[in-house]
Copies of this chain bind each other. A is one copy, B any other.
Amino acid sequence: MFENRERTDINELGEFGLIKHLTQHVELLSEHSVKGVGDDAAVLDAKNLSTLVSTDLLMEGIHFDLTYVPLVHLGYKAVQVNLSDIYAMNGVAAQITVSIALSSRFPLEAVEEIYKGINLACKKYNIDLVGGDTTSSKQGLVISITSIGYAKPEDIAYRNGAKEHDLICVSGDLGAAYLGLQILEREKQIYLENPKIQPDLEGKDYLIERQLKPEARRDIVALLADLGIKPTAMIDVSDGLASELLHLADQSGVGVTIYEEKIPLDPMTYETARELGLDPTVCALSGGEDYELLFTISQADYAKLKHDVDVTVIGHITDKNSGAKMISKSEKVHELKAQGWNAFMTKNKDKPGT
């Protein structure tokens, strides 16, 4: 990486020089941002709203593999993963802080690529980069992002508000990011065995894009506001539909029943799963990294939402004793189990997630 390109040693700039270099063009856009990079702390103004804060730590070799993840996409995705948590509270994201640690194998140009992705995401989602830290690393690349957002207290959607008979909804479609990862891993293996073979990603663009360049669903938060719907509970799908449903059920003290035939799958997800000998439903239930929003609404709100093609009702909330269930296409009852990727089980590289 970067062997044949321009290569500037980060030591030439030093820590303060690097921060200045990376943030010199940052302009604060949000009305909630008073002071960004350059002092001991950023200064924010909540303007009578509640403040939402979420943080993620992304480690090279655990959460991303630089053999096939371009640095610009890594920066973009690192931001999206974090914003997704703010949207999952039914809030509007406004700021991030970014800390990056790099080992000496990364030149300045590498950091610039990561920041290009970060800045792209910030611009597209109206996010101010208000602080951070850069340091060296003995352990490869580490990215830590904290995102900050705002919401009226009464609009916040927690995980614990789902009530019996509520409808379970999910945005977009599921399982594609997981299959994108399978394709990238397959091509990596082929490349490692024979570097002359070009990667064959034809016809898989949607899956690859879902894996490398996810988009947090700010638009769904806006849609729900437009429709006058407050979700009774909400969570983002980062570890797989099953794991998130179990979180909602557990924290709300309820049961869930979903219908396999209702789970939204893109045709490319379905076909590719079949090609790879995988069950498309399992990819949706346990794959993760979809960054879609999973939420519950009261039945009274169903009419407002039923014509929206980007939201699918996949089931309903039941009483706690009914447990967490999926009714299969053949009308069999399956108990839902969390098989989402676990960041501590690194041996199982097939289970992605953050």
Known interface pairs A53-B148, A55-B146, A142-B59; A135-B42 also in contact (CB < 8 Å): no
- Closest B residue to A343 by beta carbon equals B135
Cβ < 8 Å to B, chain A residues 138-158: 138-140, 142, 144, 146-149, 153, 156, 158
Q: How far is the CA of A134 from the CA of B40 in the complex (A)?
A: 26
Interface hub of A39, A60, A342 (most chain B Cβ within 10 A): A39
Task: Determine whether the beta carbon of A99 is less than 8 Å from that of B55.
Answer: yes
A56 at the interface (CB under 8 A from B): yes
- Closest B residue to A84 by beta carbon equals B40
How close is A345's CB to chain B, nearest CB, in angstroms? 6
Task: Determine whether the beta carbon of B344 is less than 8 Å from that of A159.
Answer: no
Task: Determine whether the beta carbon of A43 is less than 8 Å from that of B52.
Answer: yes
List chain B residues, Cβ under 8 A from A136: 59, 62, 343-344, 346
Task: Determine whether the beta carbon of A40 is less than 8 Å from that of B235.
Answer: yes
Known interface pairs A10-B344, A57-B135; A88-B41 also in contact (CB < 8 Å): yes
How close is A93's CB to chain B, nearest CB, in angstroms? 9
Q: How far is the CA of A134 from the CA of B57 in the complex (A)?
A: 8
In the complex, which of the residues B18, B53, B86, B88 contacts A44, with contact meaning CB atoms closer than 8 Å? B53
Q: How far is the CA of A224 from the CA of B218 in the complex (A)?
A: 43
Known interface pairs A140-B138, A344-B11; A44-B51 also in contact (CB < 8 Å): yes
* Protomer copies: 2
Cβ < 8 Å to B, chain A residues 112-166: 130-140, 142, 144, 146-149, 153, 156, 158-160
Task: Determine whether the beta carbon of A62 is less than 8 Å from that of B342.
Answer: no
Task: Determine whether the beta carbon of A138 is less than 8 Å from that of B62.
Answer: yes
A46 at the interface (CB under 8 A from B): yes
List chain B residues, Cβ under 8 A from A60: 138-139
Q: How far is the CA of A345 from the CA of B347 in the complex (A)?
A: 34
Q: How far is the CA of A353 from the CA of B100 in the complex (A)?
A: 17
A305 at the interface (CB under 8 A from B): no
List chain B residues, Cβ under 8 A from A89: 39-41, 43
Known interface pairs A55-B97, A140-B139, A146-B53; A134-B41 also in contact (CB < 8 Å): no
List chain B residues, Cβ under 8 A from A55: 97, 99, 131-133, 144, 146
Name 16 extra pairs, CB < 8 A, besides A40-B89, A59-B139, A136-B344.
A39-B251, A40-B236, A41-B147, A42-B52, A43-B51, A43-B52, A43-B156, A44-B53, A45-B51, A53-B95, A53-B131, A53-B146, A59-B101, A59-B142, A61-B139, A62-B138
* Closest 3 A/B residue pairs (Cβ): A41-B54, A144-B144, A57-B99
19 A-B pairs within 8 Å (CB atoms) are namely A15-B343, A39-B251, A41-B86, A41-B88, A43-B89, A44-B50, A45-B51, A54-B97, A55-B146, A57-B142, A59-B139, A60-B138, A60-B139, A62-B136, A134-B343, A135-B343, A135-B344, A136-B344, A136-B346
